[in-house]
Amino acid sequence: MENDKKITADDTIGSVLESHPEKAEIMAKKLKATCFGCPMSQIESLKDAADHHGVDLDSLLEELNKK
């Protein structure tokens, strides 16, 4: 069953992967990140990750929140 909670900039990478595992491929592609199991994924927000990886946050959130 798909989670209907909107993904926000303040959500951590880890929380998104836990509640929306189907979004892992989008995050890997957009953030160029494959180490989702690292400790930082549990505390790094999507905003921080987007800033760190030079990704447009609004575009990332739009794609992650598509049904």
Q: What is the pLDDT of residue 47?
A: 95
Quote the distance between the C-alpha of residue 44 and its chain's center.
10
pTM, two decimals, is 0.84
Q: What is the pLDDT of residues 1-22, one digit of tens each?
A: 456 789 999 999 999 999 999 9
- Write out the two tokens for 4: 């209907």
pLDDT of residue 5: 83
Query: How buried is residue 29: exposed, middle or buried, by Cβ count under 10 Å (0-12/13-18/19+)?
Result: exposed
Tens of pLDDT, residue by residue over 18-51, are 999 999 999 988 887 766 777 888 899 999 999 9
Domain ranges of the chain: 13-64
Q: Which residue has the higher pLDDT, 44 or 67?
A: 44
